[in-house]
Amino acid sequence: MSTRSVLARSAETATREGRPLVENFLGWASRSRHLLWRRLVGSDFEQRLELLQRHYGQSVDDSFGLDLSAYASVSELFGFLHRMYFRTEVHGIDRLPEGRVMVVANHSGQLPLDAIILGCSLFFDAKTPRVTRAMIDRWAAQLPYVSTFFSRLGSVVGAPDNARHLLEREEAVLVFPEGIRGISKPFTQRYQLQDFGHGFMKVALETDTPIVPVAVIGAEEQYINFGNSPAIAKLVGAPVCPIIPQMFLPLGQLPLPTKYRLFYGEPLRLTRLQKETDESIADKVFLVRQSIQSLLTNGLRQRRGVFF
């Protein structure tokens, strides 16, 4: 038998015997990826997405740009952040009422990852999945690509008319009354609530919307901010420019893998007076602020560590 024949037969035998090994490996890889996907998004992901599609209609007619197909596109990434990277604990989300609701939370972390994790909890963990209509800063809404991305996921420019319109459609609106003051505060002020704006309260009263206070614990430590530079912020046209040394370290641009804890409080159903004054509005805002502060205090007392 010629050398060429021997080589051809050997190659044929190797191919025949090796094919099952390759097929088994590919099958194992496919099953492993499917199991990981299930772990990230949950075994009921398709049912949850279908519920939203039925609620909004197969083709979403949303003037703000909501696109439910975007939820499927980011499901693995957001599921990874929510369930594996930040390992979020969610407490009291069963208190979230059906229909219109205003979710009011403390804001921190330099980047709006707290809004993403809150949105994940409303989609992945609530009994009935909800689209989170987060009110975002006008500056962020002007950023190319970023603004389009967030609007497809449900975010809206934080204007009273926008919030009012969404609540009249029975949506879940997420508000951070601290605004930029909260998300950009230095590390030395962590978990110290900044002054609340009053606009959210006026809208909630006008639309007879229950307010659910939420404490977010874990975001404060994901980026260590040593302060803010007004000069650099003005130079780049940003509202603030935090000084974060870890950004200059290898992989320091990633947030630290702190453990997130979300604490949903009891809904506050506040009654609108016949003649509201600045003082009466301020009193109601103070009540919400104190509710969040109480949730923060209790949650921090229970916490064993930043990363576990």
Q: Which residue has the tokens 């609701």?
A: 101
| Domain residue ranges in the chain | 1-41, 45-302
Q: Does residue 138 contact residue 157 with C-beta atoms inside 8 Å?
A: yes
Radius of gyration of the chain (CA): 24
Most confident residue range from 59-63, 84-88, 228-232:
84-88
Q: Does residue 198 contact residue 281 with C-beta atoms inside 8 Å?
A: yes
Which pLDDT does position 21 carry in this prediction?
63
Instruction: State the Cα–Cα distance between residues 292 and 216, nearest whole angstrom.
Output: 9
Contacts of 284 (CB under 8 A, 6+ apart): 201, 205, 270
- 295, pLDDT greater than 60: yes
Contacts of 300 (CB under 8 A, 6+ apart): 191, 217
- Taking residues 84-102, report their average pLDDT: 97
Q: Which residue blocks in 185-271 are alpha helix, DSSP H?
A: 199-206, 230-236
Backbone φ, ψ for residue 253 (5° rounding): -70, -20
Q: Does residue 255 contact residue 111 with C-beta atoms inside 8 Å?
A: yes
Which pLDDT does position 57 carry in this prediction?
78
- pLDDT tens-digit series, residues 234-251: 887 888 889 999 988 998
Which pLDDT does position 290 carry in this prediction?
98
Which pLDDT does position 239 carry in this prediction?
87
Whole-number mean pLDDT of the chain? 90
The residue among 137, 43, 117, 32 whose CA lies nearest residue 74 is: 117
- pLDDT tens-digit series, residues 181-228: 999 999 999 999 999 999 999 999 999 999 999 999 999 999 999 999
The residue among 179, 35, 162, 168 whose CA lies nearest residue 101 is: 168
Q: Which two tokens stand for residue 70?
A: 């975007």
Which pLDDT does position 30 carry in this prediction?
59
pTM: 0.87
Using pLDDT thresholds of 50, 70 and 90, give the confidence band for residue 39.
Answer: confident
- 1, pLDDT greater than 60: no
* DSSP code for 81: I
- 28, pLDDT greater than 60: no
- Taking residues 42-61, report their average pLDDT: 83
- Taking residues 118-138, report their average pLDDT: 95
- 16, pLDDT greater than 70: no
Three-state DSSP at 115 gives helix
* DSSP code for 137: -
- 60, pLDDT greater than 90: no
| The domain made up of 45-302 is a member of CATH 3.40.1350 | no
- 90, pLDDT greater than 80: yes
- 59, pLDDT greater than 60: no
Q: Which residue has the higher pLDDT, 67 or 28?
A: 67
Q: Which residue has the higher pLDDT, 160 or 36?
A: 160
How many percent of the chain have pLDDT more than 70? 87
Which pLDDT does position 196 carry in this prediction?
97
